[in-house]
Amino acid sequence: MTIDLTGRRAIVAGGSRGIGRAIALAFAEAGAAVSICARGPEALAKTRDDIARFGRPAHAATCDLADAAAIPLYIEAATEALGGLDILVNNASAFGTSDDEAGWNASVAVDLLATVRATRAALPHLEKSPAAAIINISSISGFRASARTPPYGAVKAAVLEYTQTLAAQLARKGIRVNCIAPGSIEFPGGTWERAKNHNPNLYAAILRSIPFGRLGRPEEVASVALFLASPLAGWVTGQNIAVDGGQML
């Protein structure tokens, strides 16, 4: 089954590495024009170049998604560069894990409020699209107790609820809103690669918890995002899809 996003315009907030990068590349390969933002200019430039290799319009801009004022400026610039907007992916995460002010502030600012702010800024453009879709990236940590990472789990649970609320609010406007909750995903420079190198006991425990016997890959999350953004999911909204290899089992 081939998914064709030719003519669609997509923003991936937090799109320079890991899951966000994989989603951006999957969209471009399917024919979409793609804009990405993140804080690190080098990773942004590399991913933008990789998007462009598919022959699609590619836009990238540095943006600190914890900065409330920066988000609407980026959304406007990206929408102008793409010539409109059909798909918004809210992927950025601060990975706030410590149960202190810093951990909570980081998680709330990036994982939750950046999602809210980017959505708010994008809505006037999405309302003009005949097939608009919003995809939020949460985590299976939002489905259950998260004793190791309290702020991360609590805020990801809020993203799950916010997805359902938005879906109810925006259905009359023809805008679909869904959420993906990845399990433990490993990629170069990511949380679980660092754990493998510096906290092997934790990495081994996580590995044992996954029935498939391995951690996930960003491309496996991107495949679900590609489906949710496509006409094949035209009657799917308000859903939270776990992509975890059975980790919650």
Of 16, 141, 146, 156, the catalytic one is 156
CA dist 236 → 27, 33, 130, 168, 195 (Å): 18, 23, 15, 12, 35
112 touches 158 (CB < 8 A): yes
Q: Is 205 exposed, middle or buried (0-12, 13-18, 19+ CB in 10 A)?
A: exposed
Of 16, 93, 139, 230, the catalytic one is 139
| 74 classed as catalytic | no
Of 16, 93, 107, 138, the catalytic one is 138
Phi, psi of 222 (to 5 degrees): -60, -35
**Tally of CA atoms within 13 A in the half-sphere of 157 that contains its CB:** 12
| 146 classed as catalytic | no
| 46 classed as catalytic | no
Q: Which long-range contacts (CB under 8 A, 24 or more apart) does 190-193 make?
A: 190/17, 190/18, 191/95
| 152 classed as catalytic | yes
The interaxial angle of helices 114-126 and 70-82, nearest 10 deg, is 40
Of 74, 146, 152, 230, the catalytic one is 152
Q: Say which DSSP state 233 is in.
A: G
Task: Please list the active-site residues.
Answer: 138-139, 152, 156
